[in-house]
Amino acid sequence: MTVTVQLALNGTPVPQPFYSAIESLEVEESCEGPDLLVLRVPVNRTSAGDLQYVGDGTFEPYTGITMTVTPSGRSAQCVFDGYALSWQLHLDRTTSSSTLDVAAQDASWLMNIDDTAKEWPGLTDGEVANAIFDSYGFTPADANTDDDSPPHDPDGHSLFQRATDLQFLKGLARRAGKICRVACTDTPGHRTGYFIRPSVDAQPTATISLVDPDKWTVDTLDFDWDVMRPSEVDASQVDLTQASDDGTETDTTSSGLTTLAARDLVTYTGRSSTLLLTTPADVTELPQRTGAALTESGFFTRCTGEADADRLGAVLRAGDVVTIEGAGAVHSGNWLVWTVRHKFGLNAFKMQFTLVRNGVGSAPSAAGGLVASIGGAL
């Protein structure tokens, strides 16, 4: 599979010779932060004595930059759509060593310019997110109001914003166990605002196979887990709409997300760890708040690696689900793509990725391994 890359500045594709001049081009997609693009090009003097790409207006502040990738036989995918926000110019006495690094951020940057003080009474979190996305011309994702909060009642805890729109929505997303991001669709300029739960039930878009050592689709994979995190949440709140000062308690042991493998955190460790949630909320919000805390803590195992798009046969995207084969009973199965760094080169298109999972594979059918062997010897 060959991947074709197209860069465009302010909607105009760059000329073909520009790709040969690129020293490095990387795009990072993430479920928890803005998408970023970093481009490095050499800087030479023009016939007029000025500096190429610096004095000719190529990369002015807020220049629109898009990057589209098209795998052979498949439709185009827009992996970046944003604006140039900074550059670093390095001039060297050796002309061939002078470079310009241009950094760009996705269109969510538009939501992070002005602080706002505003009340959002009577609306759910998803409805607020859709209203904010719509005000920037972003298309709200269909699932933004799924698994939604109850309407924020002014008689209880009304919803106040005292931050930029992006900071505000990021805070709402974290307490709801959701992902908040803005990404382009297949067509640059068509931006979608996401305020959604991780799509762990989606069909896998790629398979990372380690079954045949001669046909691995990646060179290396690294796995780790961290079980120092809560598996249960206790929360309580006085109902401010009632005269009684009796509190309501919520005890939650599940995030509500499908477990991507046989054993979740508490099953794998054999013990629970409790988090006492003290954040004020209306009584009707407690189940969502407690589930959100477990959504964040539930992704306790991680896989990192690098893949070549030709060998893998797919372009990984943040938020996708992928399958790993041949990594043993504990680590094989479906994983959620959390971050991807796309690295363009003239001869290859590589992807550094981080996958997360809220479970591990099934337990051994019988006691075995080193510990059991030592126990038997004793």
8 A C-beta contact, residue 179 and residue 126: no
Q: What is the 3 state secondary structure string of the chain? A: CCEEEEEEECCEECCHHHHHHCCEEEEEEECCCCCEEEEEEECCECCCCCECCCCCCCCCCCCEEEEEEEECCCCCEEEEEEEEEEEEEECCCCHHHCEEEEEEEEHHHHHHCCEEEEECCCCCHHHHHHHHHHHCCCEECHHHHCCCCCCCCCCCCCCEEEEEHHHHHHHHHHHHCCEEEEEECCCCCCEEEEEECCCCCCCCCEEEECCCHHHCCEEEEEEEECCCCCCEEEEEEECCCCCCCCEEEEEECCCCCCCCCCECHHHHHCCCCEEEECCCCCHHHHHHHHHHHHHHHHCCEEEEEEEEHHHHCCCCCCCCEEEEECCHHHHCEEEEEEEEEEEECCCCEEEEEEEEECCECCCCCCCCHHHHHHHHHC
The residue extents of the domains of the chain are 3-105, 113-196, 206-225+300-357, 232-298
pLDDT tens digits, one per residue of 359-369: 999 877 655 56
What are the φ and ψ backbone dihedral angles of 294, each rounded to 5 degrees?
Answer: -80, -25
- Which CATH number is 206-225+300-357 given? 2.30.300.10
pLDDT tens digits, one per residue of 294-323: 998 999 999 999 999 989 989 999 999 999
8 A C-beta contact, residue 188 and residue 81: yes
Predicted confidence (pLDDT) at residue 373 exceeds the cutoff of 60: no
* Residue with the larger pLDDT of the pair 281 and 308: 308
- What does pTM read for this prediction? 0.91
Sign of CA dihedral 215, 218, 222, 225: negative
* Residue with the larger pLDDT of the pair 240 and 199: 199
What CA–CA distance (Å, rounded) separates 90 from 86?
Answer: 13
Predicted confidence (pLDDT) at residue 12 exceeds the cutoff of 70: yes
| Distant-in-sequence, close-in-space partners of 373: CB < 8 Å, separation ≥ 6 | none
* Long-range contacts (CB closer than 8 Å, 24 or more residues apart) made by 245-248: 248/283, 248/286
Question: Residue 211: what residue type?
Answer: V
Structural fold of domain 3-105: Thrombin, subunit H (2.40.10)
| Distant-in-sequence, close-in-space partners of 303: CB < 8 Å, separation ≥ 6 | 221, 222, 223, 324, 331, 335, 354, 355, 356, 357
Structure confidence at residue 137 (pLDDT):
96
Mean of pLDDT values over 72-77: 85
Residue carrying structure tokens 């929360």: 235
In words, the CATH class of domain 113-196 is alpha beta
What CA–CA distance (Å, rounded) separates 201 from 147?
Answer: 14
Predicted confidence (pLDDT) at residue 112 exceeds the cutoff of 90: yes
Question: Tokens for 278?
Answer: 């003290």
pLDDT tens digits, one per residue of 126-170: 999 999 999 999 999 999 999 999 998 887 778 999 999 999 999
What CA–CA distance (Å, rounded) separates 51 from 304?
Answer: 40
Structure confidence at residue 305 (pLDDT):
97
What does the radius of gyration of the chain's CA atoms come to, in whole angstroms?
24
Structure confidence at residue 353 (pLDDT):
98
